[in-house]
Every structure is written in C-alpha cells, then in structure tokens.
Structure 1
Amino acid sequence: MATVRAVVLKHHKKKDGTWNVKLAINLHSSTTYIETHAFVDKTYLDRAGKLKQSYIERYFASRLSQYRDLITGLGTRVNYMTSSDLKDYLVRSSRETHSAIEIFSELQKEYDYCLEKGQSTKSKFVKSVLTHLKSFTNRESLTAIHINSTFVKDFESYLMKLKLSNGKPLAVNTINGYMSQFKAFYKKLRDEKNDASINHFPVPVNPFENYKKMNAEVTLKRNLSLPNIAAIMKYNPETQYEVLAKDMFIISFMMCGMNTKDMHTYLNNPIVGNSLEYRRVKVMRQRKDGAVINVLIPDQLKPLIEKYGGQIQKRHNTVHSLNTILYYGWKSISEKIGFKCTMYYARHTFANIARQVCKFSKEEVSIALNHKTGADITDVYIDPDWSVVHKVQLGVIKAVEDYIKTSDQEPS
C-alpha cells in the first residue's frame, strides 16, 4: 500500500535550529522523499518530534490530498512501481497540472528539431502552422486544454479566408498540408506526453479524431513535351542563375527526376563512376527499404557531375539557398523560351516520357522514380533489380536525343 505524508527528519536539523519539511512516499517498505520549500522550528513539532497536525492541515492538506488522489487513480498499477517511480510520477503530474502543455513552445521545439535534422520542407510547414495559429488566436500563449474539435474546424475556416499578397486565397492543397502537419504534430505530442500505463494524460483530447481534410485540388500537370525538352537543351543561358538552373534540370531529368535535396546531399564528389546509389532523403525514414535507388551516370552527363560535384555545397550551404537561385533562374528562362518550367518539371516530364513515349509499364516507371511499390515485406528479402531503373533511364534519354537529332535534320 502506498502512503504519502508530511514529515521532518530529526537528523536533518539545520544550524539555525530548523528542519526542512519533506513529503515521504512509502511503497513496498521503501521510502523516498520530496523536498519542499518549507522550514519549521521546534514550535511546530509535537513532543515526539513530529509535525503538528494543525500545521499539516494548514499548509499541506491540499497537496497531500492531490497526491493521494493521483495514487488512487493508478489503481493496481502502483503495485508494479518503486517508491522512486511513484515520486517521479507525483512530481511530474503535479508540475503539469499547474503548468499545462504550451502549444506554441512545443511547435517551436518541433521547428528547431526539423532544422537540426535538415528537414527543410517540413520545417517550413511547422513554422507556417505556428505563425498562423498565433495570428488566428491573437495570443502569445496557447495551452493544449484550449484545443478541441471546434478549435480545429475554426482554424481551418480561418485558413480558408486568408488572402495571399497577390489577393488570392490559399490553395486547398496548401491548407490540407498545414492541417496535416498540425495533426501529425499533435499526435506526436500526445504520444510523447501521455502515458496510459500510469493513467497520465496531460494532453487528453484528440481534437482531430473526427476531422476530415478537404478534397484535394487536382495538381496541374507539370509535363513538358519533347519539343519543350529540346528547347531547354538547346537554350543558351545568359546569366549564372540560368546556367545553374539549366544544368541542374538536365542532371535531374537524366537521373530519373532526382530532386535538389538529394543532389545537394549526394553529388559531393567530382570524381564519378558509372552509377550512383543513394537513398531519397525525403522518404528514407518512412520506407522499410530505406528508399534506396541506383541510377546510371551516362557519359553525356559526366561533365556536369564533374563540374558541380562537391561545388554546389560550397556555393550553397543549404538546399533552400540552392532552390532560391534555381527559382529565379527558371523564372528568367521561362520568360524567354515561352513556356513555364521549374525543377519539378524534370521529374514529372521524365515519368511522362517514359510512359507515353517509350511505353514502359506503370510499374517500371514507378520503380525508376523510386516510388513505394506496395510489396514492402517481400522487397526486404529480394535484392533490387536496378536493371529496370537503368532500362527506363536510358530509354528516356534516347527518346529525347533521337527527337533532337531528327528535328535538327528537318528542313527549316
């Protein structure tokens, strides 16, 4: 049976003739003490040297009652705890009762964590959620007890009414992204703070239990035609921004739509072989196979790898810095070639040409893009067949080169 009481220890008498009041936690014939800020002299002790009941009732009755309620709430689970475990539980529960979980500070911690782990895209979403929540609530502090299903719906409605600097509303997909990030953050918070084994629920409510996100907007196609790709290949850049944008696009396109995060991470050596095996940073922690892929480095691409391998990291400390330059580079090129293009178009166009022009199967294209195939358990046991990736990769490159060669031979 667990007990808690206010005591003084006779042998802990201070030089000034006072004793510190402690809360004794007794369980399984073992006692652990919680120190308090209270000190008493002998006038508050009875003849046996124990705290007078009147003193305990006046200054510690409420706290002792709270601790006894917490112990009662544990039920039979207390039988599997030590006195030290019970002390930690009581102290933590008391602290969190008086200091509710503060959402803004927890979101800031999550943002800092994402930056530390190099998760730049996720960090932007977390920062946006934090910024919009502060604007929505118009307050400097927000505790978990204020967040319920109504709060979540009202926050989504607030986002739907927001206007961008150009006067346009936030896209539905953007709002869904914010709400998904908010939901994932809250789930992580509940997993970290709540402990069902000891009936400890400082974040008791799941406000997203019945939440359903809005129907996603159909993403605009980012596929370029063979004539478009040919125009990009033939384009003569006029600025350093355009040079970088074109070169990075070609590298991405010829390497099965490799994204800039992976380029910044893995193209770190000008000495190249005939292939590159790497893990897609974006999803490698979510995939059981680690999102490994092996792509060829064709001869026509090696000069660019030698040019940028190990250099893009020196010129651009972060992938965000690199993406900013690429954005302005492609904005400039798009105005001159007569159609819109960004780095995203490289991956989308690679997939479209592989399927529509080269007639590879959807499964083959999916493998070349390093998408999840759905056979997770089986794939753990089977060595990957990179020849499928290489076949699709070389087929797409050949289709583009054949088109350029044919168009160059046609009479103008």
Structure 2
Amino acid sequence: MATLKIVVLKHQQREDKTWNVKIRITHERQSAYISTQHYVGKELITQRGGKFELKTNNNPVYDAVMLDVLQIKSEIVRLGHIIDNFTAKRLCKHMEDVLSGNNSKDILFFQFAYSYFDEMIQSGRYSTGVSHQTRMNKFKSFAGNSVELFTDITSVLLYKYEAYLMKEGFSIVSVIDYISVIHNVFSAAKLRYNDEDTGIIKIPNNPFSKYKYPKKPISRKKALTREQILSIMNFETKLKGVQIARDAFIISFLLCGINSADLYYVMENDGRVDYERRKTKDRRADNAFISIRIEPELIPYIERYKDSERLFSFYKRNVSHQQFNRAVNEHLKVIGEKLKIEGLTFYAARHSWATIARNNCGISMDDVAMCLNHKSGYNTTDQYVKKDWSIINNANRKVIDYLFSDTD
C-alpha cells in the first residue's frame, strides 16, 4: 500500500530563500514526489536530525497541503488493488492529475479533434487530415455550443446529426463518412487518455455502443463493358484536359486499375511500375508494395506524357494528386455524357479491370486481389510466401488481350 508524507527537501532552496513543499509517495519500496503550489521560509520549518520538516501547529500551509493529502488518500482507496499496477512515479503523475482536475473527464472534444488532425497532417497523412477537418467543421457547425466535452456527445445527438445530414441532402455513404470521423476521434482519445490496466478512465462514455450507422445501400457496380472502355480510348476531343482524363483512364486500366494518387507519382523501374499504394501503405507490413510489368499497349502513353522525373508528366499540370484526381473526374463527366456512360469516374477503370479479369478471363479472386494490391487475408501465410510478380504479369496480359480481342 502506498504511504504519504509532507516533506521539504533541504537541498532544494530557491534564490529567494524559500523551499517548495512536496508530497512524497512511497510505493513498492520506491519514492516519488508531487510538487505543491506552496513555498515556505525557515519560519515555517523545523529541523529534526538534519532534515527539514514542515511545522504543523498554526501553519496554514500545512493545513492546505493536508487537504491535498486527504484527496490523494481518497483516490488510493478508490483504486483498491489496481494500485499494484502503478509504479511510484506513475502513481504521482496520476495524483497530480487528480489534484489539478485533469482527471475529471473534462477533455475538450473539438480541441483534441483538431489537434489530432494536425498530427495526421504533420505525419504525412495530409489528405486524410484535411478531409477529417472539413467533416469535423460540419459537425461543429451543427453542434454549436451544445458540445464542449466528450461527455456531451451522446447516441441521441449522433442520431440527430444523422437526420440533419440526410435533410441537407447527404447520401447514406457520406453520412457514414462524416459520423465515422467523430468515431475516429473518440477511439484516438480513449487510446490516449484511458488506461484500463490502472483504472484511469478520463473518457468514460461511448455513444457508439448505442448508435448504429445507417445501412449502406447496395452500390451500383461501376464496371464498364469492353466496348465502353474502347469507346473511351478512341474518344476524339481537342480539349487538353479531356484528352488527359481519357488517357489517364486507359493508363489506369493498363496498369491493373492503378489509383489516381499512385499514377500521379509513379516511376519506372527496369520495364516495370513499382510503387507502394498510398491509400494503404501505412496500414500494411509490406507497405502495400506492388510491381506491374509495362505492356506494349502502355508505351504510346508513356511517350505521350514522357517526363524526366516521373513516368508521367501529370504533376506539371496539377500541383497535387488531389487536384489531379478532381480534374480527371471533372473531364471524364464530359466523356461520359457524350458516350452516354452514366456516372463515369476514374475509379471505374479499376472496377472494370477487376470485373473483366474475374468474369471474362477466369482469373481467381485471390489473383485479382493481388493485382489490385489488396491485402490477401492470409496474414500468417504471407510471411512465408515470396510474392510472384509473374502472376500479375499473366493476369494483366489476359485482361489486355481480352480488351483488344474481337470475341466475348
């Protein structure tokens, strides 16, 4: 059991001839100290055996510190056997939080959220951090002064926010995305501030235990037919932006449905395109690395957008991969309207490659997943099996041959 003592450390005299009054906590034969806000001169100190002690009689400082001691003792009783998980130093830190009120669960929600997003941006997750900020701004505008602390957020409030977003015209998928940001902040804060091992719970509530996300509608498949893909490839236009969107779409298809963010940065390596998928590289042990052979059909596009620094010169026209993605999708709308392909987006190239690979070329789902650079699902096995890039070579070749063939 931890023991407490009010002490004055003789060797820690300040320049103004005063000493800080401390509370010493001894636990598991180790000692640590809590500095109080009180300082005393020699008139309030007695010496015993060469050591300083705070006078107890007619001493308002002693009375004030004793109130802190009593609060600490009360917390020790509350902790019970959990206190065995603490070191003396960790116990002191916890008691400092108790005395300062930082353990009173009064953690500001929006202050933590925006700080957390800034950390994302600083760590290189720029697009995620910025998009989270934008979505949180919407919630802050909705909540107004009703939300200050984490404990102000309830399942009832989340359902009201869901209804508000739906009324504003947000799709169910968007509603889920916006509320997921709040959930993400809750999870991050609990991980940072709660310590179940020692019973320190600064954020006790979890509105997501009662709140249930709306069910996603079954999405309309974005895969295109071979004829539609060829019509995009052969689409004639004099508008430079539309030409780039057209070509970027076909390049993506010829590279197993590469994402726009990866296409923006990609380099050539000895006849291959090697890259780490930006969307998932931070969440996978293999950094989401993939290697795709450059097929002959891709060469004209490489020549058209030849660049000395990257494989394609798209970055010279767009200052970021986000801007590149927006520009391509905006111009693909023009192509879609002309060709009567409803809702045409860049991502349709990826869906189309996967669908043709599986349904028209008979490629296994596992091999399709590998070509799309998805996590395999065989976590343990992945540690033993070396990647065979010829699987991707053969699969992509089959898909490209099918695209340019004359039969279904």
Q: Is the 8 A contact 1:274 1:297 kept in 2?
A: yes
* CA-to-aligned-CA distance 1:68-105 (integer Å, 9 cap, x gap): 22333333454564433322222244442367222112
Report whether the alignment pairs 1:246 with 2:243.
no
Aligned with 1:335 (options 324, 332, 337)? 337
Q: Is the 8 A contact 1:275 1:297 kept in 2?
A: yes
* CA-to-aligned-CA distance 1:225-248 (integer Å, 9 cap, x gap): 222212111123322212221221
Equivalent position amino acid for 1:206 in 2: N
Distance 1:98 1:399, change over 3 A: same
Alignment of 1:293-308 (within 5 A): 293-305=290-302, 307=305
Tell me the SS of whatever aligns to 2:32. Answer: strand
Report whether the alignment pairs 1:157 with 2:163.
yes
Aligned with 2:386 (options 378, 383, 388)? 383
Alignment of 1:281-300 (within 5 A): 281-300=278-297
Q: Is the 8 A contact 1:134 1:140 kept in 2?
A: no
Tell me the SS of whatever aligns to 2:170. Answer: coil
Q: Is the 8 A contact 1:273 1:297 kept in 2?
A: no
Aligned length: 395
Displacement of 1:29 in angstroms is 5.3
TM-score normalized by the length of structure 2: 0.84
Q: Is the 8 A contact 1:93 1:200 kept in 2?
A: no
Alpha-carbon separation, structure 2, partners of 1:189 and 1:291 = 28
Tell me the SS of whatever aligns to 2:33. Answer: strand
Report whether the alignment pairs 1:123 with 2:129.
yes
Displacement of 1:155 in angstroms is 3.0
Equivalent position amino acid for 2:267 in 1: N
* CA-to-aligned-CA distance 1:223-275 (integer Å, 9 cap, x gap): 2222221211112332221222122111111011000122234x135xx5332
Alignment of 1:58-207 (within 5 A): 58-79=63-84, 81-95=86-100, 96-97=102-103, 100-120=106-126, 122-139=128-145, 142-161=148-167, 163=168, 169-207=169-207
Q: CA RMSD in A?
A: 3.0
Alpha-carbon separation, structure 1, partners of 2:156 and 2:6 = 43
| Farther-moved stretch of structure 1 (25-34 vs 45-54) | 45-54
Displacement of 1:172 in angstroms is 0.7
Alpha-carbon separation, structure 2, partners of 1:89 and 1:159 = 40
Alignment of 1:206-225 (within 5 A): 206-225=206-225
Q: Is the 8 A contact 1:275 1:294 kept in 2?
A: yes
Look up the match of 2:324.
322
Q: Is the 8 A contact 2:20 2:38 kept in 1?
A: yes
Q: Is the 8 A contact 2:267 2:273 kept in 1?
A: no
Q: Is the 8 A contact 2:86 2:198 kept in 1?
A: no
Q: Is the 8 A contact 2:273 2:291 kept in 1?
A: yes
Equivalent position amino acid for 2:118 in 1: D
Displacement of 1:276 in angstroms is 2.4
Alpha-carbon separation, structure 2, partners of 1:122 and 1:17 = 54
Q: Is the 8 A contact 1:241 1:328 kept in 2?
A: no
Displacement of 1:58 in angstroms is 4.6
Displacement of 1:326 in angstroms is 1.4
Displacement of 1:118 in angstroms is 3.9
Distance 1:225 1:89, change over 3 A: same
Displacement of 1:281 in angstroms is 2.3
Q: Is the 8 A contact 1:257 1:348 kept in 2?
A: yes
Tell me the SS of whatever aligns to 2:345. Answer: coil
Distance 1:2 1:401, change over 3 A: same
